[in-house]
Amino acid sequence: MKKITIAIDGHASTGKSSLAKKIAKKFDYIHVNSGSMYRAVTYFILKNDLQNLVESDVNELIKKLQNNPIEFKFDNNSNIYEIYLNKVNIEKKLNDLKVSDYVSKVAAIPEIRKELVKIQREIDRSNGIVMDGRDIGSIVFPDAELKLFLTASAKVRAKRRYSEMINAGVNVNYSDVLENLKKRDTLDSTRKDSPLIIVKDAILIDNSNLTIDNQIQYISKLIRSKQNI
């Protein structure tokens, strides 16, 4: 059976990563959450107070990043790639609201996108991969056999995100989460380099009223049909 590349793009907090993780597990594929790479760079910038370089000297920022390597390491137990900064696992730092607030600005910088896309394309796809993000079907893997675009109403997404954060012990309020989502949608869709778009060969899924099991069932059929080609 053919192992394929699955690109999952879509709006913020549509459950792309949770879905990608479950699909990867079901089909024994690897899962890569590309958003975590943009978050890792953002975490590095905020931690080291480098916001001024974002505005004034992106080349200097890239140099600093090259001296403080951000790496993906595959965890055999969880079957996912986790993010390391200077050899330290920073996976748990990435969903902080401060990171979420600043990440779209960082993700709009072409030089940073170029570096991260390079790393994403170097990942071995031969055993099947599910990668989620904003430009996976359009830029990273335009040859992906299956491209999905996830969306849902902003309110539904904000509610889900809010519950997730509260459950994870993060102290936030719902309206901040909703505002952050809307802001990110606008920034991600209007940036010049690799904006969030629905490519013509993508399948659009509005999951406002779908459970994760509904979605997995539907997507599994699509995967099987592509694997058998």
Residues within the interface to ligand DC (CB under 6 A): 12, 34-35, 38-39, 103-104, 107, 133-136, 184, 188
Q: How far apart are alpha carbons 67 and 15 in whole angstroms?
A: 33
Beta strands in the chain (DSSP E): 5-10, 30-33, 70-75, 80-85, 88-89, 129-133, 146-151, 203-206
Which of 5, 34 has the CB closer to ligand DC? 34
Task: Provide, rounded to whole angstroms, the least separation between the CB of residue 200 and ligand DC.
Answer: 19
Task: Provide, rounded to whole angstroms, the least separation between the CB of residue 53 and ligand DC.
Answer: 18
Which of 174, 227 has the CB closer to ligand DC? 174
151 has which bridge partners?
206
Task: Provide, rounded to whole angstroms, the least separation between the CB of residue 133 and ligand DC.
Answer: 3
Which of 164, 206 has the CB closer to ligand DC? 164
Task: Provide, rounded to whole angstroms, the least separation between the CB of residue 187 and ligand DC.
Answer: 7
102 contact partners, CB below 8 Å, separation of at least 6: 42, 45, 46, 51
Which of 90, 136 has the CB closer to ligand DC? 136
- Is residue 134 within 8 A of residue 196, CB to CB? The reply is yes
